[in-house]
Structure 1
Amino acid sequence: MRAPSPAPRAWTTDAVLVAASLTDVWIHDVGPRHPQELAAALLAAGALALRRGLPLPTFLLTLPTALFTDAVFATLVALYTLASRTHHRVPLAVCALGFTVCDLTWWSWPSPEFTDLDDRQALIPLSYSVAQATAPLFLGQLVQARRELSLRLVEVSEAREHERLLIAQSVLAKERAQLAREMHDAVSHQVSLMAVRAGALQVGSRDAEAKEAAATIRLLSVQTLDELRHMVGVLRASGSRPTELTPQPSLADLDRLVAGSGIDTDLRTDLPGDLAPPVQRAVYRTVQEALTNIRKHAPGATATIRVRQRDGTLRATVTNTAPSRPALSLPGAHHGLIGLRQRAELLGGTVTSGHLRDGGYELRLELPLDGAP
């Protein structure tokens, strides 16, 4: 159930106050026998509809009913509204004094005589009138202070939230800068050494297979260095607009990826060339991760890669045979498949993997092409 909007609530409140003011007129028996009093009372009741936009004129329109009648509900409401919407104390005091004088005058109407302060009994109307004037005045000021305090609390809360966001961004920028330094000083240096050693092995070795392996290592090292340099630049530019981490690969790069993997691979693709870049990157990263895992965990195995489109769904499958040599113990965080699944889920697809009966392994990516971004 939806909450009522502020405007209908305001109109409802005003209607209730007008009805209460008319009831006050009826209770105090202000009738047609006294047309002057009835006109003042009805004018005061109707003026309450203007109290939100014109609080001071509304109070002035309700003041005659305090002078001619005892039906002062409308005047008190108007005084409260004025007190809750103005910061000027002097006009408020003048209005309260005006209500007090009009109310005291009514006690002796139609021959008004101001109260004799020497008569204690005469102080009762004065005290009653002053209390009636000050009660809505203080209540209105209290409501105004509460409203302003609520606004200040909201502003303070927003300022603190903004400050926490700035602190978090500052901490993140420092962490990114530290990570960039570590990548530049440690990882890039080690990959550079790998490229240099591989180049030396390529030149100095007489074995054709060793030369080919060294050339592949050197090529992969150079590509890794290029990606690291770009990533370091992105990490250091923490305050700039988001950029791509690397020149993003596409399906056109699959042949080069397979050729540089060092694995005997049968690659077959049947896809249109106008696929969305996120879909092409998902296929490329899936094949890349599969080939990396084959090198790690299934040395000597052969691979089969099939990428095709059927019935609005893209399917990329990478299978490998059982390893022909013992697997090397290589470090790994086991986050590759998790990252592939997350990437596929963002595109509305799935990634599944599992062992085959012949000792091989299969990695399958399925993406819907209809809703792909």
Structure 2
Amino acid sequence: MPAPLVDGGLVAVAAGDAWLAVSDTSWLGVALAAVACAALALRRFLPLAVVLLTLPATVVADLVFAPLAALFALAERSRDRRLPAGCAVLMAAASAAPWPWHDPDSRDRTWTLIQFVYTLAGTAAPVLLGQLVQARRDLSQRLAEIEEAREHERALHAQAVLARERAQLAREMHDVVSHQVSLIAVQAGALQVAAKDTDSREAARTIRSLSVSTLDELRNMVALLRASGGRATELTPQPTLADVRRLVATSGIDAELTGRLPDTVSTPAQRAIYRTVQEALTNVRKHAPGAGATVELWRDGDHVGVTVTNSRPTRPSLPLPGSRQGLVGLRERAEILHGTFASGVTAEGGYEVSLRIPAQPE
């Protein structure tokens, strides 16, 4: 209901109660009762003043509604519980005090005390009810704040999950798709050089051109995904150590696999080793044509690793675009698994990539 309508209704009810209470009193009682009833219109803004304006009318007349409504308004809005409690005691004393004032005998004093106790119980009710309404309102606001905070937390969690998924998608696109497209481009370039008839050379040139364009677009897509991505937990099933030998055999270069790792190595570690070998061999095909490579699997205590070393290239490399995200992704994988990753040029002019990670999750 609108606040002015509620306030008007309270004033009207208080006026009816006052009309019954002051019908046989003096004009002073009528005036004080009118002030007490009119003051209820200000209970939302000046609750303490309304209580004080109601006190005189309570002394000269048996008002019921106006004092209780004033005490409720004060208790509902006051943060200091001592203030409404003191006003309740004061209101009970004003209601129990004899009027007009005279020197009461012992019997009158006893009945005045009894009336004060009963009146105090009545004035305590709106104070307790007002405090209850205030506590309920505060609790509702607190629950609303908690729900808002939880919604904000859920939104942040959703953004974090999305960022991790984007990073994982970018890494998998680079490791899987670019690996295959790079192989197509290299094979098409070789076919273009080796083809003898014009149609075959033109077809090979077209295939290589499309592959180069695809690699360039893929690089842009990976960069866009990584812009909002973060470190990702490897959850998607990927190739393991059992697929490393086939990867080396089908790499399209002169590569040799040495060493062996047990099958008890953790699944994330196996995926990391596979992706390291895949990325290293892809880079050899792209940037070191004619070079041979050695893939060594090794174990050092509680850690396992792989080292991929290629020799010096024997012919110029094709101008294929690079996303420059491969080694970054391998380093991220190593950090996620609490391992280390290193890469660099060898003394013989080749290139070496090395990964060292725990055999089991830490």
Q: 2:198 corresponds to which letter in structure 1?
A: A
Gaps in structure 2 of 5+ consecutive residues:
231-362
Residue 351 of structure 1 corresponds to none
Residue 67 of structure 1 corresponds to 59
Structure 2 residue 17 is matched with structure 1 residue 24:
yes
Using the size of structure 1 for normalisation, the TM-score is: 0.58
In 2, the alpha carbon distance for the partners of 1:174 and 1:38 equals 76
Structure 2 residue 85 is matched with structure 1 residue 86:
no
Structure 1 position 72, deviation (Å): 3.1
In 2, the alpha carbon distance for the partners of 1:66 and 1:239 equals 72
Residue 193 of structure 2 corresponds to 203
Contact 1:65–1:72, Cα closer than 8 Å, also in 2: no
Among candidates 197, 218, 226, match of residue 228 of structure 1? 218
Count the aligned residue pairs.
230
In 1, the alpha carbon distance for the partners of 2:188 and 2:105 equals 111
Range with bigger deviation, 118-127 or 39-48: 118-127
CA RMSD of aligned residues (A): 2.3
In 1, the alpha carbon distance for the partners of 2:49 and 2:104 equals 27
Residue 159 of structure 2 corresponds to 169
Describe how 1:105-254 pairs up with structure 2 within 5 A: 105=97, 108-111=98-101, 122-238=112-228
Structure 1 residue runs of 4 or more that deviate by more than 6 Å after TM superposition: 117-120
Contact 1:104–1:114, Cα closer than 8 Å, also in 2: no
Identity of aligned residues (%): 53
Describe how 1:301-340 pairs up with structure 2 within 5 A: none
In 2, the alpha carbon distance for the partners of 1:56 and 1:38 equals 22
Residue 43 of structure 2 corresponds to 51
In 2, the alpha carbon distance for the partners of 1:209 and 1:115 equals 131
In 1, the alpha carbon distance for the partners of 2:115 and 2:171 equals 84
Distance 1:77 1:120, change over 3 A: same
Q: 2:167 corresponds to which letter in structure 1?
A: A
In 2, the alpha carbon distance for the partners of 1:115 and 1:22 equals 34
Distance 1:97 1:204, change over 3 A: same
In 2, the alpha carbon distance for the partners of 1:113 and 1:142 equals 40
Distance 1:117 1:136, change over 3 A: farther
Structure 1 position 228, deviation (Å): 1.0
Distance 1:215 1:114, change over 3 A: farther
Structure 1 position 90, deviation (Å): 2.1
3-state DSSP of counterpart to 1:195: helix
> Structure 1, residues 127-161: CA drift from partner, whole Å, max 9, x if none?
32111210111000000000000000001111111
Structure 1 position 224, deviation (Å): 1.1
Gaps in structure 1 of 5+ consecutive residues:
1-7, 241-373
> Structure 1, residues 68-124: CA drift from partner, whole Å, max 9, x if none?
11123112111101101011122222211210110111xx21025689699875554
Using the size of structure 2 for normalisation, the TM-score is: 0.59
Residue 12 of structure 1 corresponds to 5
3-state DSSP of counterpart to 2:2: helix
Q: 1:27 corresponds to which letter in structure 2?
A: L
Q: 2:44 corresponds to which letter in structure 1?
A: R
Range with bigger deviation, 202-211 or 46-55: 202-211
Contact 1:30–1:69, Cα closer than 8 Å, also in 2: no
